[in-house]
Amino acid sequence: MRKYKKFVHITPLDKWRFKVLYIFSLLIILCLFGRLVKLQVFNASDLQRKARLIQSSKTISFKKRRSIVDRNNRLIAYDKPLYKLWAHPKYFNFPGDLTEGVRSIEEVVKKLSPILGMKDEILLEKFNNKMSGIKLLDKISEEKAKKIKNLQISGLDLFKYSQRYYPQGELYSNLVGFVNDDNKGSAGLELHLDNQIKVINKSNSIKRGGDGTPLPDNSAPGDFISDYKSLGLTIDSKLQKASFNALSRQVREWKAKKGFAIVMDVNNGQILSLVTVPTYDPNKFWQYDSELFKGWYSQDLFEPGSTFKPINLALALEEKVIQKDGLVEDIGRINVGGWTLSNWDKKGNGYINYPKVLQVSSNVGMVKIMQNLDPIIYWEWLENLGINKNLETDLYESTAGQLKRKDLFVNESIEPAVASFGKGFSISPLKLVQLHAALANGGFEVTPHVTSTFKERLYGNSKKQFFSYEVSKTILEWMESVVDEGSGSGVKIDGYRIAGKTGTSQKAFNGSYTSKKVCSFVATLPVNDPKYVVLVVVDEPSKSYAYGSTVAVPVAKEIIESLIVIEKIPPKIKDYETIVKKP
């Protein structure tokens, strides 16, 4: 069948309809143009600001410090991030509001109060009719700060800062110190090692694309890498706690002015515990006397008294002015240069060997022994030991010991005489520890330190050797007899070979000795394989019968018992080496 095409006739558009469409189109164009003018001219700066906020972000630098941890990574000090909240009511604006709109303070408070856990009326009082620069709250946690940020309220600013916390309180305060309100180190390691602890982060801007992808800019490699390193200490927190408790009890018991206890590895100088009493809470440092912030164990000096006698005997052996099996007569007193010197109990001990000199702590015996040594050589030995020099360490800045001038020491016979039993010169407790460590490790100098990154010199390089191996071994055995048979018997522990020496020295004031005492005890263990030195010093115990044996020894024993458990030191019997060689 044949198909036919259908034709449609077009009629002209009515003039009035054409005019309507024309006018409508023109109005749309004019509206678009007006909108464009408004955006490009009147709202340009505001839009540019919003665009920059979307396209770029800035990492803000704030003062931060490394965490401090013990050798087992237990926290000693750390920075806790907190926030301060500032308000500017004249800019209050909620998401989606017109730029010109300003929300009321009451509307903002209603959203803030549940997050901050505060009543509306209390929060409202903080505004005090001010319209800008109002500090609402500080010490806001990260969790709450995140919730406030999520509100996206214009006119609220969160300022991030860090606050130092010391979770173990007073246990480490005399060692670690504290930072002040400006986050600056003000005592202890926080001050002395400030450059190693503080972290400086750069402020950087980063541009992003529409999907949030970072865009290339001029940032250098590593600009956005955070520093998460910690300052590691050689201290063991368990031993620190045990030492602190033992020392605190004894200082209270004897109503002493202060006390100090330290445990150190004799082979490398690593300090395992260091405590002083009294102490303070570094989280509330402003409540305490500033005198407590001082590291007196390295900055204060004292006359070591009888704890220095083993050092003097080592000098006499090195110079061969005495023999190992020699004897000395002790009649209880001796006259030197017109001065009468006597034993602590005013009694004589007859002819005694050198171990006995240490056991009974004979002053007369020591004077006679050291009179065999030329005063010039004696003084030079003391200088070589660093008695009058600063001790380089990572602790507080140390105070150099006081040693009499060489000409005075050589020409006045009383000076070497009193020096023979640890009087007439002064050193810090930390220096005394160093010297006894040398007696224990075969004669080598080690530097006491508490940071695990401390650079200790190695044997065989520039390391100084104070004593020969033979002499140090002999002195250690003589000191062992003090624990087995002498004034240090209170520290004896079955199955363990311990060497020690007690000390009780009078304190001098304005050139005269007073009734005030410093009681001390130094121990080395185990004698068969020396590893640790323990020093306890108690200053000015005020009760009767205060001696190194009664005041310091009990503290040392408690510390050593804890040390044995923590370090898993196996027991040894005195003749172990001989027994294992028998068939």
For the chain, the C-alpha Rg in angstroms (whole number) is: 38
CA distance 436 to 122: 63
Mark whether 306 is an active-site residue.
yes
Inter-residue contact 307 to 295 (CB < 8 Å):
no
Whether residue 278 has a cis bond before it, omega within 30° of 0 = yes
What is the rounded distance in angstroms from the CA atom of residue 547 to the CA atom of residue 504? 5
In DSSP terms, 329 is beta-bridged to 351
Q: Which helix (H) or strand (E) holds 335?
A: strand 333-336
Buried-state track 86-114, b at ≥16 Cβ within 10 A, e below 16: bbebeebbeeeeeeeebbebeebbeebbe
- Please report where in the chains the tokens 């360490």 appear, as a residue: 393
Is the separation of the CB atoms in 32 and 177 below 8 Å?
Answer: no
Question: What is the DSSP track for 173-241?
Answer: HHHH--B-TTS-B-SHHHHHTHHHHEE-PPPEEEEB-TTSPBPP-SPPTTTT-----EEEBS--HHHHH
> How does DSSP classify residue 74?
-
SS (H, E, C) 472-540: HHHHHHHHHHHHHHCCCHHHCCCCCCCEEEEEEEEEEECCEEEEEEEEEEEEEECCCCCCEEEEEEEEC
What is the rounded CA–CA span in Å between residue 294 and residue 191? 11
Name the residue with tokens 């009719």: 129
DSSP reduced 3-state for 26: helix
The active-site residue out of 67, 306, 398, 549 is 306
To which H or E segment does residue 263 belong? strand 258-265
- Listed residue (560, 544, 546, 492) closest to 518, CA to CA: 546
411, 395 in Cβ contact below 8 A?
A: no
Longest dimension (CA), the chain: 157
Q: Which residues are catalytic?
A: 306
